Chain A
Amino acid sequence: MDLSTLVYGLNLAAIYGLMAIGISILWSSVGMINMAHGATFAVSGYAAWLASTAMKPVIAAAFGKTLLASLATAGVVVGVALIAGALMGALIYLLAFLPIHDKPNFAVRSLIVTLAINIATVQALLFFFGPRSRGLPKIFGFGRLEIFGVSIRYDQAGTILCTAVLLLVVLEWLRHSRKGLEICAMMQNPEGAALSGVSVRFTALPIMMVTGALAGMAAALLSQTIFVSPTAGAIPLIKGLTIALLGGLGSVPGAVLGALLIGFLEAFTGVIPFLGQRYVMFIQFAFIITVLVIRPRGLGGLLDDTRE
């Protein structure tokens, strides 16, 4: 059990955390469970792949094989993934939020509609791109660093760094901007927010675009280790959902903590000899179930106010 498993766990935690935070924020502010997050993930991955294949000759012509070329590729991949994620979030807003947000039973119905969108998108991707998985260019290149005597792969370091930066940006935006203030208000007291003129309809769109962008980033980062395929979004969705529930819906610190726990759990389970990769899901589910039975509202609980 060496520290490289720790790093691996951190890597996974970062990616799952991106998904989980998106789901958590969306639920506590808008009251909607987004089952189509997996679709957003897959679509962003494919968009990044398309963009990188299209731009490869252009970049090669402009920069050759230098560091700038790889930076440009990285920029294209990440940028397109973010944009595609945001656009997909906007699409889900149009289909699953606007028509039913003021009708009864909104939570259950939005869950079903997003589920339908998820299935439809996956089937559409299967139809257009086929079931073969595609590879994305390596953003961070190959190679390893040495920090405190631990050997970390470039892409692991890059993932952890990027996630941390993106999360900090999002959290600062939430805290200091006008829209962020409105979103926090909506998360803590929907009635008070409505009475302060915060319109759910107009605030939900930026939230969904931002959470979509988070999923897009997760896709760009995860595809360094796993290829892009239509069903690639299913497992991150389930992991993100379970981590969001584990951390307590609506609690961002809880989601982060849950992501870290699950990430490390997955890393260590893979290493233990007689268990291996096959039992990963099993162990994770068992852990989450145990925690939820002990603390039915998840880890976040009293950290900040959650919407029930």
Chain B
Amino acid sequence: MVDVTQTKQSAPKKLYKVGRHHHDYRLRPNGTQEWSRARLPFTRRHWLKWRGINNPRTLTRERVLVDKKPLWWTLSLGALLIVTPFLPNAMINVAAIFCMYAAINVLWTLIIGTAGIFSLATLAVVGMAGYAAAAANVYLGVPWPLMFAIGPVVGLLIGGILALPSTRLDGLYYALLTMGVAEICRIFVTQLRPLAPTNGSINKVGSFIPEDWFLQREGLLLGFAGAFVLLLGALLVFRLVNSERLGLLLRAAKTGREDEAFSEACGIDFRRARMQVFLISSAALGVCGAFYAMYYRSISPSVFSLDQLLLLFAMMVIGGLGRSEGAVLGAAIVILIDKGFVELGPLRIMLVALIMGGVTIFAHEGLTGARQQFRNFRNRKKSERRAVRTEKGGEVMPEEATEIADKQEIYYRRFNKRLRDELKTYITPELIEEHRQAPLGRHSDTLERVLNYFRRGEVPDKYAILRVDGSMDRFRILAFSGERGAPPRVVDDKEYQTLSEAYHAVFLLRVNDLLES
């Protein structure tokens, strides 16, 4: 007598954490009241991304903030705005420089990330626009508010010149081209005598900072305020381009040639969209250039230097290429190192380079992408371990169990698995011999159990015996397909002379299948 209810003695089971969702903070609003959501004026957009979720366990309605990024932005930028007026003069200058560089980086991210154009001519655009605006102010007497109009126009112009070859060249070739253009701009500016008599720089540029406030605390504060507004403007441009129509169009064509072909086949004119993004960013960079000239009240060829460009590039890489928060975070880190550790001298730059290298080696997407990378890594490790633990047709793993809707399924599988394990221990040569002696008729208890299990099998792939041509001494084994209209398949081409042989052969096949499962 075999006691099927006897549980196996196994080692204490290791408990694994289930589920893959990170912890969300949820609010519990009053479920009986109507839910009001404020909208941005004149649009149908909401301020924050709230979602209502039904909690199946407590049967209450909950509210979760899906996108927490606006919170982080508000906190960090708000902190910057509030803290800076209380800092010493030098630090206010640093904060303003941070805002300017962050603005340039955000727009550069738009070019490299959204449009996918690897352009190194950012500072060339900024510089040329700055020079044009400064020259207009100093030599043509244009009042300083109009510099904000000249800058973008010049930026647009230069962007247009740069955009033309971008359809023919891509990737590294295009980067080379932009580097060449930057070099050309630098030489152009230094060689043009009437433009810049004093070793290439234009001085005494008109500005929104009044003359007597310049280099005083009030001037610095005003400069910082202007730079902060510039940063907000750059972020606004980024948001408007990246998350609206142009950015969405380009998301399909971001990586590689196959995706470009795919998006073109869908009817997306990604080349035109890329061009538009490039031109918009160039115009915005022109505004940055004009601001740069006004903040320093002068402009010099050092704005075209390769070292400056590499520093900006390092900022973007450290923060994460392709994201606006990466551009800002990277700018913050690098400027902190650059101005904070002035005593180190040239080692500062080495430190920045080492951080850049380290971030690229270890993080796929820079510092802002680290969290997602870690989560992916953890999920992958979990599924790897799960695959190793899983046996074919075995018990459902807890991680999968949370995803199966009908829980009866889990118990059914578990029961079947235990049953099969038990039956495997019954299969012995004596049992097989017993069946061979008498395929039909009285069987022992264990054989009956085994046969009962076989008889309960599903129809697809169930074995059956075919009487060939209606004869009395030719039998073949088939397996049902289980599909309506599909004929059964032949298992092998052996013919059996008697029915008992055929029955025994079917028994052996089923035993084989049991032992293999």
Instruction: Enumerate chain A interface residues (CB-CB to B < 8 A).
Output: 33, 95-96, 99-100, 103-105, 108-109, 112-113, 115-120, 123-124, 126-127, 238, 241-242, 245, 249, 278-279, 281-282, 285-286, 288-289, 292-293, 296
Interface pair A279/B187, CB less than 8 Å apart? yes
Contacts of B481 in A (CB 8 A): none
Interface pair B347/A127, CB less than 8 Å apart? yes
**Closest 8 A-B residue pairs measured CB to CB?**
A116-B357, A285-B180, A119-B353, A123-B350, A120-B353, A116-B353, A116-B356, A112-B360
Q: Say yes or no: is B177 at the interface (Cβ < 8 Å to chain A).
A: yes
Interface pair A293/B180, CB less than 8 Å apart? no
Interface pair B173/A296, CB less than 8 Å apart? yes
Interface pair B187/A95, CB less than 8 Å apart? no
Contacts of B179 in A (CB 8 A): 238, 285
Smallest CB–CB gap between A206 and chain B, Å? Answer: 22
Q: Known contacts being A245-B173, A288-B180, is A123 close to B187, with CB within 8 Å? A: no
Contacts of A99 in B (CB 8 A): 361-362
Contacts of A281 in B (CB 8 A): 183, 187
Query: 21 A-B pairs, CB-CB below 8 angstroms?
Result: A100-B360, A108-B321, A109-B361, A112-B317, A112-B357, A115-B313, A118-B353, A119-B310, A119-B352, A120-B353, A120-B354, A123-B349, A127-B345, A127-B346, A281-B187, A282-B187, A285-B180, A285-B183, A288-B180, A293-B165, A296-B173
Instruction: Enumerate chain B interface residues (CB-CB to A < 8 A).
Output: 165, 168-170, 172-173, 176-177, 179-180, 183-184, 187, 310, 313-314, 317, 321, 345-347, 349-350, 352-354, 356-357, 360-362, 364
With the chains together, A33 CA to B313 CA distance in Å? 17
Interface pair B317/A293, CB less than 8 Å apart? no
Interface pair A282/B177, CB less than 8 Å apart? no
Contacts of A127 in B (CB 8 A): 345-347, 350
Interface pair B184/A285, CB less than 8 Å apart? yes
Q: Which of B165, B170, B173, B179 has the most CB of A within 10 A?
A: B173
Smallest CB–CB gap between A201 and chain B, Å? Answer: 16
Smallest CB–CB gap between A299 and chain B, Å? Answer: 13
Which listed residue, A113, A120, A241, A278, touches B360 by the CB 8 Å rule? Answer: A113
With the chains together, A242 CA to B178 CA distance in Å? 12
Smallest CB–CB gap between A186 and chain B, Å? Answer: 20
- With both beta carbons as reference points, the residue of chain A lying nearest to B354 in the complex is identified as A120
Smallest CB–CB gap between B243 and chain A, Å? Answer: 23
Interface pair B176/A245, CB less than 8 Å apart? yes
Q: Known contacts being A242-B176, A286-B180, A292-B173, is A105 close to B364, with CB within 8 Å? A: yes
Sample of 12 more A-B contacts, CB < 8 Å, known A126-B346, A289-B177: A33-B172, A113-B361, A117-B357, A119-B310, A119-B352, A123-B347, A123-B350, A241-B176, A285-B183, A286-B180, A288-B176, A292-B173
